[in-house]
Structure 1
Amino acid sequence: MEEISSAPIIGVVADRGLHGGQPSQTVMEKYLEAVSLAGGVPLILPQGLADSPAALASAMAVLDGILLPGSASNIEPYHYASGEADQDTQPEAHADPGRDRLAFALIDLALASAMPLFGICRGMQELVVRTGGALHRRLFELSGFQEHREDEGKALEVRYAPAHDVELIPGGLCSELFPETRRFWVNSLHGQGVARLGEGVRIECRACDGLVEAISVASHPFALGVQWHPEWNSRDYELSRRLFDTFIQHARAYRDAYLERRSTPR
């Protein structure tokens, strides 16, 4: 791990819920640890930033990258139209509207500034929706797809174990990261999935049933989303380690370029 003084600062979006009966905003420790172990300094971003442009601008001024973590909540469906009319009219039972607002605002800013962005599970879905795509709200009710949800009755080690393989699509970020292979195994803990992608979004990986498992924004140096959970024991798996290390490397390069611009006389 780098010394804190030289490590890039990574903003991590918080989820909202109840803790001891009181409204709280939290980030699961595994995401913070994965960033720290890769050499970054995680900074939790409260959802209220989305309601204050000045505060959000101040936060962006100190950040070198953004992590959109997974969550038990789902994006409210009015943000997209999947084409599954029977599903689109039903309210989201596990919504977190404050997270939707902050994540979408951060995506806009990251894409405009070329700041590195890494989305995991819900975070990937946020990137899909904000760039003009749509989701299958209940993937498990559609024919042709395997079961992508975990068994919540199992131990965590079982739930986060590799569940299926994915195929790399040539020409993307992931194929550059993993040139030695075309397929690898990932865990699977999601009930929603990509129905449609927006313009300029590139498919990085697909599951054997055809479901999109990773995406990137083609015009951006590092705006990557993965449907699986590489943060789980991230240093124990080469795939996960390489993803987080590359994310932090891009964040470091972003910070260095920013510092160079500030120090260059005009």
Structure 2
Amino acid sequence: MPAAHIRPARRPVVAIITDRIELHHHVAYAALDGYVRAVASAAGALPLLLPACPEALDSEALTEAVDGILLTGSPSNVAAERYGAAPLPATTRQDPARDATVLPLLPRLIAAGMPLLGICRGFQELNVVYGGTLERAVHAQPGRLDHREGDHARPIAQWYEDRHAIQVVPGGRLEALAPDHSCLVNSLHHQGIERLGDGLRVEATAPDGLVEAVSVDAAPQFTLAVQWHPEMRVDDSALSRRIFAAFGEACAQRARARAGN
């Protein structure tokens, strides 16, 4: 009797949200190479760039087509009107197209069981989706560290060097990836969580008390968002590799379940 045909497992597909930019006087969509490399190498998934174009996307079709979503960091900020605050200064870089794409899409994807990894702006987007607010200038607040990346004239690799410790909260998703409860991370942001969104669980804090990682408390699937940038440290940081590996495995599990394996 011939052996039963066994279909090889495919790589899970991860949608990476892009920024809307201008390129050669045209509207374009872009994501930095670090996210693509980390998804491909550390998560073992197929990276697929997702345009920040709400009219082009269908949440049901997206749920059927991909196995996870990565919300990237960005030089842009979530519009303050999205969380009920006064508008940001006109000089602040914003991305209304990304806001209009991500914020309505996230609740549907999470409800559908989609694994999610949020980084920097993506971390802040998740907080806003759940009704939280953002502090627009963390460094200006009494008792806070300066979490900004510093001198832009330095080599890029130096931007992503470890800057401060985080304290991992016991009993959460991050604890399994950082069992010693204390790790060093980089820091490249000026905004941060002011009020935590309802339904989010704090996973880690900085020495000044600022929230550095959250998860969706009621979601059974992998949902983790961090304020730092693990995508640029997968080559030399065990924690960064573990975060992307855990995300990739969650996406692979979803891919197998959808394929009936």
**C-alpha contact (below 8 Å) 1:76/1:91 kept by paired residues:** no
**C-alpha contact (below 8 Å) 2:133/2:195 kept by paired residues:** yes
Match 2:26 to one of 2, 13, 22 = 22
1:81 has 2:80 as partner: no
State the TM-score, normalized to the length of structure 2. Answer: 0.91
State how far apart, in whole Å, the 2-side matches of 1:185 and 1:219 are.
28
1:66 has 2:66 as partner: no
Partner of 1:11: 15
Partner of 1:188: 187
State how far apart, in whole Å, the 1-side matches of 2:35 and 2:248 are.
13
Match 2:49 to one of 44, 47, 62 = 44
State the TM-score, normalized to the length of structure 1. Answer: 0.89
Cα distance change on mapping 1:90 and 1:66 into 2, 3 Å? closer
Q: How far apart are 1:153 and its partner, in Å? A: 2.5
Kindly report which structure 2 residues correspond to 1:138-217, keeping only aligned pairs within 5 A, or say none.
138-151=137-150, 152-179=152-179, 181-217=180-216
1:116 has 2:115 as partner: yes
- Helix, strand or coil at the partner of 2:231: coil
- Helix, strand or coil at the partner of 1:231: helix
Q: How far apart are 1:5 and its partner, in Å? A: 6.1
State how far apart, in whole Å, the 2-side matches of 1:140 and 1:236 are.
28
| Amino acid corresponding to residue 32 of structure 1 in structure 2 | V
State how far apart, in whole Å, the 1-side matches of 2:187 and 2:144 are.
13
Q: How far apart are 1:33 and its partner, in Å? A: 0.4
Aligned sequence identity (%): 38
Q: How far apart are 1:61 and its partner, in Å? A: 1.2
Matched length: 250
| Amino acid corresponding to residue 107 of structure 2 in structure 1 | D
Q: How far apart are 1:258 and its partner, in Å? A: 1.8
Partner of 2:228: 228
State how far apart, in whole Å, the 1-side matches of 2:200 and 2:154 are.
35
State how far apart, in whole Å, the 1-side matches of 2:225 and 2:97 are.
20
Cα distance change on mapping 1:64 and 1:90 into 2, 3 Å? closer
Gaps of 5+ in 1: 83-87
Deviations 1:61-107, CA, capped at 9 Å, x for gaps: 1100000000000000011136xxxxx24445211011112111331
State how far apart, in whole Å, the 2-side matches of 1:20 and 1:228 are.
31
Partner of 1:85: none
Deviations 1:9-43, CA, capped at 9 Å, x for gaps: 00011101122333211111110000000210010
- Helix, strand or coil at the partner of 2:232: coil
- Aligned CA RMSD, in angstroms, stands at 1.7
Deviations 1:126-148, CA, capped at 9 Å, x for gaps: 00000111100111221110100
State how far apart, in whole Å, the 2-side matches of 1:6 and 1:164 are.
38
State how far apart, in whole Å, the 2-side matches of 1:201 and 1:15 are.
25
- Helix, strand or coil at the partner of 2:70: strand
**C-alpha contact (below 8 Å) 1:10/1:40 kept by paired residues:** yes
- Helix, strand or coil at the partner of 1:236: coil
**C-alpha contact (below 8 Å) 1:135/1:195 kept by paired residues:** yes
**C-alpha contact (below 8 Å) 1:77/1:91 kept by paired residues:** no
Kindly report which structure 2 residues correspond to 1:101-112, keeping only aligned pairs within 5 A, or say none.
101-112=100-111
State how far apart, in whole Å, the 2-side matches of 1:69 and 1:112 are.
20
Partner of 2:238: 238
> Counting helix residues as a fraction of each chain, which structure ranks higher?
1
State how far apart, in whole Å, the 2-side matches of 1:200 and 1:242 are.
25
State how far apart, in whole Å, the 1-side matches of 2:227 and 2:198 are.
19
- Name segments (4+ residues, structure 1) moved above 4 Å: none
Cα distance change on mapping 1:31 and 1:89 into 2, 3 Å? closer
